């Protein structure tokens, strides 16, 4: 199976959106410097209501994301995209190339969105936090 770039995965989605939990989500994602694709999938597989993982996804700005995960929430959809951590120079004090991306489509309830984002943060932080 080819690893071709998927450009249609986010068709109809709005984002990336700002969210009050974005800083916590970024911190949880950045916390593991040795993160591998397999390790990230293994962690995120624990999330309830997960639809699928998105690999080799490229957004309209040309950025190729490390990993994405999609959810159906009520009558809407949520996709969370995780960036690569390749900024060794830490130009903005972070090793992440960019912020985690939150994209929504349809009618996504705010409380349900918060619940899913908090679940992602909890899973990424692990049992010690």
Residue-wise pLDDT for 107-129, tens only, equals: 999 999 999 999 999 988 876 55
Calpha distance 82→85 (Å, rounded)? 9
Residue-wise pLDDT for 17-76, tens only, equals: 999 999 999 988 887 666 777 888 888 888 877 788 888 888 888 888 988 999 998 899
Cα torsion for 4, 11, 40, 23, to the nearest 10°?
A: 140
Residue 15 has pLDDT above 70, yes or no: yes
**Alpha-carbon Rg of the chain, whole angstroms?**
14
Lowest mean pLDDT among 3-17, 38-52, 86-100: 86-100
Domain boundaries, the chain: 22-125
Phi-psi sector, 68: left (phi>0), alpha (psi -120 to 50), beta: beta
SS3 76: strand
Calpha distance 67→86 (Å, rounded)? 14
User: Longest Cα pair distance anywhere in the chain, in angstroms?
Assistant: 42
């Amino acid at each position: 199976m080819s690893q071709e770039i998927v450009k249609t995965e986010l068709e109809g989605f709005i984002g990336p959106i700002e969210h009050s939990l974005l800083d916590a989500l970024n911190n949880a994602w950045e916390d593991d410097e040795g993160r591998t694709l397999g390790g990230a999938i293994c962690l995120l597989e624990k999330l309830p209501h997960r639809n699928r993982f998105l690999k080799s996804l490229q957004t309209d700005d040309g950025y190729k994301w490390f990993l994405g995960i999609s959810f159906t929430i009520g009558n809407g959809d949520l996709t969370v995209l995780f960036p690569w951590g390749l900024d060794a120079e830490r130009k903005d004090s972070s090793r992440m190339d960019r912020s985690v991306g939150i994209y929504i489509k349809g009618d996504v309830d705010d409380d349900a969105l918060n619940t899913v984002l908090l679940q992602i943060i909890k899973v990424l932080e692990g049992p010690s936090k």
